[in-house]
Amino acid sequence: MSENKKKYREISEIGEFGLINHITKDINLKHSNTLKGVGDDAAVIDYGEICAVVTTDLLIEGIHFNLIYTPLKHLGYKAVVVNLSDVYAMNAIPKQIIVSIAISKKFAIEHVEEIYEGIKLACENYNIDLIGGDTSSSLTGLAISITAIGEAQKEDIVYRNTAKKNDILCVTGNLGSAYMGLQLLEREKELFNNDPNFKPSLEGYDYILQRQLKPEARKEIIEFFKDLGIKPTSMIDISDGLSSEIKHICEKSDVGCKIFQDKIPIDENASNMANEFNMEPLTAALNGGEDYELLFTINVNDLEKVQNNPLIHPIGHIADKDHGAVLITSSGKSIHLQAQGWIH
Ligand code: ADP
Ligand code: MG
């Protein structure tokens, strides 16, 4: 077959984002009501009175979660929350989810029940209707794919590509905790694998473990924006680490930025864990993932309105594109942010 002569390229040559760009670059949108296709936290469809916001996420056993230390109920909860986070990142309100699962033979009915307990709890906590899905068997393990659908007025929707020079960059909550929770779980797993009599000691680490295993999405921030009449100028959720998400906002908005190490919120539970690992806490905040906080920009005139909210932390500002995306360290050094792998 002539196909044999074809040169195949490793996906690792271009990476996940490169692959997404590669397969989606020639998509032409056919419908005028598709306001946003690929390229933001969610797609946006205009139905006149209201816009629908749609996003999907896929969780694969062994890639996104390890069942050795992940309770199934938490897994179900997290699978919902990661999708809601993408809806909130559009400044929209999630309303429905569709859940698809593939299950291998090692799972019993009771296991699937536990996953659904978590899914249903998230639906209660975030006021979401579960409206359908698909169920399949799997040869290799568990896979959960959830699609979330949200609503917003067209003029309220916030994209990643609309940050403007001099806007203030803010993050919610704190960063790096979920990553440090994962490091702890991986460490205890290794110790257990080497000695089955080893008893994992997870006591006193509740906060970082909860951030890794049962994260929450920032519903209250979107409500806060509505109550105070604030519309961010751009927004994204932080699923892959602060550096990566800042680069997305800067690249899509055609701007640069300056952020300050001293302003980046890191919980002391995460700092302590990082110190135990001889690791810089900043590295966990910049390059760790799964915090599901929001990163957004606001006009300087709105700064006063957000400053009294203890969950919102201004970390820097948007600058000209040729400035690049720069971090000013505590010692005053300028470092260019890398999408991944900035090492102290
Ligand atoms: P997020 O981290 O916010 O979930 P991703 O990095 O997964 O976003 O995806 C970035 C963009 O690429 C999104 O708009 C998403 O819908 C789109 N995308 C990801 N994978 C595919 C795919 N296989 N086909 C089409 N679009 C995709
Ligand atoms: Mg996102």
Residue 343 has pLDDT above 70, yes or no: no
Nearest CA to ligand 1 atom 21: 20
Return the ligand 1 atom nearest residue 236 CA.
3
41 lines ligand 1 (CB under 6 A): yes
86 lines ligand 1 (CB under 6 A): yes
The single residue listed with the structure tokens 């230390």 is: 69
Q: Which of 14, 21, 24, 81 best tests ligand 1's pocket when mutated (most atoms within 8 Å of CB)?
A: 24
- Which residues sit opposite 314 in a β-bridge? 170
Nearest CA to ligand 1 atom 11: 39
* Strand intervals (E) in 82-238: 93-103, 129-137, 143-152, 168-172, 234-238
pLDDT tens track for 225-245? 999 999 999 999 999 999 999
Lookup: tokens for 273: 């864990």
Q: Ligand 2 mean position to 303 CA, how many Å?
A: 24
pLDDT band, residue 109 (cuts 50/70/90): very high
Return the ligand 1 atom nearest residue 17 CA.
6
- Dihedral of CA atoms 330, 251, 42, 62 in degrees, nearest 10, equals -60
Q: Ligand 1 mean position to 57 CA, how many Å?
A: 8
CATH homologous superfamily of domain 168-336? PurM-like C-terminal domain (3.90.650.10)
What's the rounded mean pLDDT across residues 13-34? 95
Residue 3 has pLDDT above 90, yes or no: no
- Looking at the chain, the whole-number percentage of residues with pLDDT higher than 90 is 91
- Starting from the CA of residue 85, give the closest ligand: 2
239 lines ligand 1 (CB under 6 A): yes
pLDDT tens track for 146-166? 999 999 999 999 999 999 999
24 lines ligand 1 (CB under 6 A): yes
| Averaged pLDDT score across all residues of the chain | 95
* pLDDT at residue number 2: 56
Q: Which of 20, 34, 290, 340 best tests ligand 1's pocket when mutated (most atoms within 8 Å of CB)?
A: 20
- Whole-prediction pTM value? 0.95
Of 5-19, 112-126, 323-337, the poorest mean pLDDT is in 5-19
38 lines ligand 1 (CB under 6 A): yes
Say how many Å lie between the first and final Cα of the chain, rounded: 50
Distance CA(216)–CA(152), nearest Å, equals 21
* pLDDT at residue number 201: 81
The single residue listed with the structure tokens 């008893």 is: 199
pLDDT tens track for 249-297? 999 999 999 999 999 999 999 999 999 999 999 999 999 999 999 999 9
174 lines ligand 1 (CB under 6 A): no
What residues flank ion ligand 2 with Cβ within 5 A? 41, 86, 237
Return the ligand 1 atom nearest residue 86 CA.
3
8 A C-beta contact, residue 54 and residue 45: yes
Residue 246 main-chain phi, psi, to 5 deg:
-65, -40
Return the ligand 1 atom nearest residue 40 CA.
14
CATH architecture of 33-156: 2-Layer Sandwich (3.30)
19 lines ligand 1 (CB under 6 A): no
Q: Ligand 1 mean position to 38 CA, how many Å?
A: 6
* pLDDT at residue number 344: 29
Residue 200 has pLDDT above 90, yes or no: no
Domain ranges (residues) in the chain: 33-156, 168-336
CA 335, 337, 339: angle at the middle one, nearest 5? 155
Distance CA(79)–CA(144), nearest Å, equals 7
Nearest CA to ligand 1 atom 17: 38
Distance CA(232)–CA(86), nearest Å, equals 15
